[in-house]
Chains A and B, each alone.
Chain A
Amino acid sequence: MSKYYLNYLDELESEAIYILREVWAQFENPVILFSGGKDSILVTHLAKKAFYPSKIPFPLLHVDTGHNFPETIQFRDHLVKKLEVQLLVGSVQKSIDQGRVAEEKGKNATRNALQITTLLDAIEENKIDCAIGGGRRDEEKARAKERFFSHRDDFGQWDPKNQRPELWNILNGKHFEGEHFRAFPISNWTEMDVWNYIKRENIEIPSLYFAHDREVVWRNDSWIPVSEYLKLEEGEAVVTKKIRFRTLGDITITGGIESDADTLEKIALEVASMKQTERGNRTDDKRSETAMEDRKRQGYF
């Protein structure tokens, strides 16, 4: 006898494919927000499945802080070539040079918040009406309230108190000129689901996720990689550690964890036994209890 139910990974996959197809059907000019991190890689993989045997029908948009892991950029270019998709790049450095934003100062300065302006500029310039993101509701409490289709006003802002109700699987992407949407096909996935799925599908991810030796500095309770952007403080020492990254962002704020997990199997096992949330190693979220919500309201990912 056949079984007529899906396991949870197949159900999550099917839901994401449905949402991606709705985006394609309801919007003129959608893009996938691509950071080079596992969540945006997953969304891209799901898009490949959703439209097969057609190619992914929308470009990838990378908001480039200029403070990248070189591995991320290599991976991005490799994937774009393999999938034969178009790549759009919004450059934070350009926004700084044009005087659109000013660099933060001090020890914990990052370009994280600056990405908002670059992203919104890229959305306007390219007349994007839907930006598909890899945001997940389990990541952070402000994200727990996101809709699959999330409305942004003509300033790119999110109003969490005035969201459109989303019922059954009916998605309302109607918008006026100048407004846009963010779509989150993997809203219902947890970090563990993402790893179990990457393992199952054997999805290619950047080498940074696997344990490797790297020069790092202990700062804000995690191992920050040494790079040309890192200024050593007094008392900080560079050491070589076997580490891997749980999330990938700007090289200046992404902390690694000590790990021996060098295969997808080992990573999935390690994640299952984790005692800290994955964003626990992101200094951008540690600024205040509502740091993510405040950035999201302004138009952050």
Chain B
Amino acid sequence: MEIHENQLLRFTTAGSVDDGKSTLIGRLLFDSKAIFEDQLQAVETTSKRKGHEGVDLALFTDGLRDEREQGITIDVAYRYFTTPKRKFIIADTPGHIQYTRNMVTGASTANAALILIDARHGVIEQTKRHAFIASLLQIPHVVVCINKMDLVDFSEKVYHDIINQFEEFSSKLYVKDIRFLPISALLGDNVVNRSTNMDWYQGAPLLYTLENLHISSDINKIDARFPVQTVLRPQSQDFLDYRGYAGKVASGIFRPNDEIAVLPSGFTSKIKSIDTFDGEVKEAFAPMSVTLTLEDDIDVSRGDMIVKVNNQPKAEQEFSAMICWLNNEPAKPRAKYTILHTSNEQTAMIKSVLYKIDINTYGRDEENKDLNMNDIARVTIRTTRRLMIDEYRDNRTTGSFVLIDPLTNETVAAGMIM
């Protein structure tokens, strides 16, 4: 079956209680037949109990007990559906300001972001927030859904006015690909099926758009980076001297005979083979998990990075980054944190906070530099040893890191190297 060559697309949705995000996801799941009868039955029962007319599509995305009681999404929830063209993973996150951390989490692995705008209200603070996060986390594709078109008489003018409003501020952002769609999630217009109420819209419906986003070119194929996760030494009869370096290709393409350097030591060698359980492969690219063997017996361990000799990342002990603070406990100036960067782990501190960003106005605050939960700030990080880094804009894997508070072991910050 051809279906097995299908790609996986991860997208994030952000929205508040009222802009119809849950209804939209419910609609996508429902119309693409990802809903089972027993789930439908459960939702019908609940809809009736709550006194809703018909099936409340929003209930399909309902997660934990607290949410059901409060009627809001409190965390990132993952949903799955498949069409004959693609498998989709939705990271569904709440859109309130206090949940910036969840939006950042959902955005970190996404190929695309769906931003919802209520056609009656146009661009609001929250829209700017979502667009900013999509830009900050470098989500390659942004699809802006102007929803509830049924409540503005499917007006073409309303649609274009909102696009203008959006473009006015989004010019300050860095997003590769932005598209706009007029939809009604409630009625299904332009979600899976083309709308019959908006003849003036010539573009494709949402699902078709998601099925056809060109994502294979979003991967960095230039800068070969291979963070070593673990060393495999079977020491069995058949593999007596085998020494393989297991990891997932972060970017670029590796081939046998490539001249490589192991960082930070700088020792060079050649790739002898690229091994998998299913046999040797001739090429390895992101996001393949493979095992490299080298021609020379050099010291390689977890935390090292294998790169090509002629294309190396920067090795820095101090660098600039944007961080999002994720923890209830505010950042402690000059305190020690554990930094996780690829498979490497070091001690780090936030040497200085340059400014905080107001994600509603994109303004800089250089006065108040306290970092509280959900704050986004430009900082300087200093580590005990050099890290092999790339800019986040070029490489989402070697350009990202998290900070951990060693007193609680909690992940307290997410960082993007500038």
B190 located at the interface, meaning its Cβ lies under 8 Å from any Cβ of chain A in the complex = no
Cα A12 to Cα B287 with chains together (Å)? 10
B78 & A144 in contact (Cβ 8 Å cutoff): yes
Complex Cα–Cα for A144 and B400 (A): 25
Q: Which residue of B has the minimal Cβ distance to A188? A: B89
Residue numbers in B under 8 Å from A174 (CB-CB):
338, 404, 406, 409
Q: Does A70 contact B (CB under 8 A)?
A: no
Q: Is A193 an interface residue (CB 8 A)?
A: yes
Is A293 a contact of B65 with CB atoms below 8 Å?
yes
Q: Cα distance A276–B41 when bound, in Å?
A: 10
A275 with B289: CB separation less than 8 A = no
Q: Report Cα–Cα, A21/B109, bound state, in Å.
A: 19
Judge whether A280 and B38 touch: CB under 8 Å. Answer: yes
CB neighbours of A5 from chain B (8 A):
7, 215-216, 219
Query: Does B233 lie within 8 Å of A280, measured CB to CB?
Result: no
Q: For residue A172, which residues in chain B have a CB less than 8 angstroms away from its CB?
A: 340, 402, 404, 409, 411
A98 at the interface (CB under 8 A from B): no
Residues of A within 8 A of B278 (CB): 49
Q: Does B6 contact A (CB under 8 A)?
A: yes
Q: Give the distance in Å from the alpha carbon of A82 to the alpha carbon of B7 in the complex.
A: 34
The reply to whether A188 and B104 form a contact with Cβ atoms under 8 Å apart is: no
CB of B180 to closest CB in A, whole Å? 27
* Residues of B54-98 whose CB lies within 8 A of A: 62-66, 68, 74-80, 82, 86-87, 89
Q: Quick check: A6 and B37 within 8 Å, CB to CB?
A: no
Q: Which of B77, B82, B236, B414 contacts A190 (CB 8 A)?
A: B82
Closest partner residue, chain A, to B65 (CB atom): A290
Which of B152-160, B238-246, B314-322 faces chain A?
A: B238-246
Interface of chain B residues 367 through 418 with chain A (CB within 8 A): 396-397, 400-402, 404, 406, 409-411, 414
Write out the residue numbers on chain A whose beta carbons fall within 8 Å of the beta carbon of B341.
Answer: 170
Contact A168 B283 (CB under 8 A): no
**Closest Cβ of chain B: how far from A253's Cβ, in Å?**
16
B200 at the interface (CB under 8 A from A): no
Pair B80/A137 contact, Cβ less than 8 Å: yes
What 0/1 pattern do residues 213 to 257 of A give for CB contact below 8 A with B?
000000000000000000000000000000000000000000000
From A29-37, A125-133, A156-164, give the one contacting chain B: A156-164
Question: Which of the residues B79, B246, B342 comes within 8 Å of A144, measured between beta carbons?
Answer: B79
Would you call B400 and A167 a contact (CB within 8 A)? yes
Contacts of A22 in B (CB 8 A): 229
A2 at the B interface (CB under 8 A): yes
A2, A24, A144: which has the most chain B beta carbons within 10 Å?
A144
Cα distance, A274 to B253, chains bound together (Å)? 40
Residues in A34-53 with C-beta less than 8 Å from chain B: 48-53
**B326 contacts the other chain (Cβ, under 8 Å)?**
yes
Contacts of B402 in A (CB 8 A): 167, 170, 172
B285 within 8 A of A: yes
Contact with A along B282-313 (1 / 0, CB 8 A): 01010111010000000000100000000000
Give the residues in chain B near A142, CB-CB below 8 Å. Answer: 63-64
Q: Find A145's partner among B64, B104, B283, B340 (CB 8 Å cutoff).
A: B64
Residue of A nearest to B45 (CB): A289
CA distance A54 to B219 in the complex (A): 31
The residue that A289 contacts in the complex, of B42, B74, B397, with Cβ under 8 A, is B42
Q: Name the B residues within 8 Å of A12 (CB-CB).
A: 8
Q: Is B234 an interface residue (CB 8 A)?
A: yes
B87 and A8 within 8 A (CB): yes
Contacts of B77 in A (CB 8 A): 144-145
Q: Is A53 a contact partner of B238 (Cβ separation < 8 A)?
A: yes
A188 touching B78, Cβ below 8 Å: yes
CA gap between A163 and B63 in the complex, in Å: 15
CA distance A54 to B172 in the complex (A): 51
The complex places the Cα of A49 from the Cα of B340 at a distance, in Å, of 26
User: In the complex, are the beta carbons of A169 and B248 less than 8 A apart?
Assistant: yes
Given A4-B285, A277-B36 in contact, is the A18-B229 Cβ separation under 8 Å? Answer: yes
* Known contacts A53-B239, A290-B65; A21 and B230 CB within 8 A of each other: yes
User: Contacts A142-B64, A172-B402 given; 5 further ones with Cβ under 8 A?
Assistant: A5-B215, A55-B234, A142-B63, A165-B105, A168-B108
Give me the 9 closest cross-chain CB pairs, A-B, nearest first.
A49-B277, A5-B216, A17-B289, A174-B409, A8-B8, A167-B108, A52-B277, A54-B234, A14-B289
Residues of B within 8 A of A (CB): 4-8, 36-39, 42, 62-66, 68, 74-80, 82, 86-87, 89, 101-102, 104-105, 108-109, 215-216, 219, 221, 229-230, 232-234, 236, 238-239, 242, 244, 246-248, 253, 275-278, 283, 285, 287-289, 291, 302, 326, 338, 340-343, 396-397, 400-402, 404, 406, 409-411, 414
What are 17 A-B contacts with C-beta separation under 8 Å? A4-B253, A8-B87, A17-B248, A18-B289, A51-B232, A52-B277, A138-B80, A144-B77, A165-B104, A167-B402, A174-B409, A187-B78, A274-B36, A276-B37, A276-B38, A277-B39, A289-B68
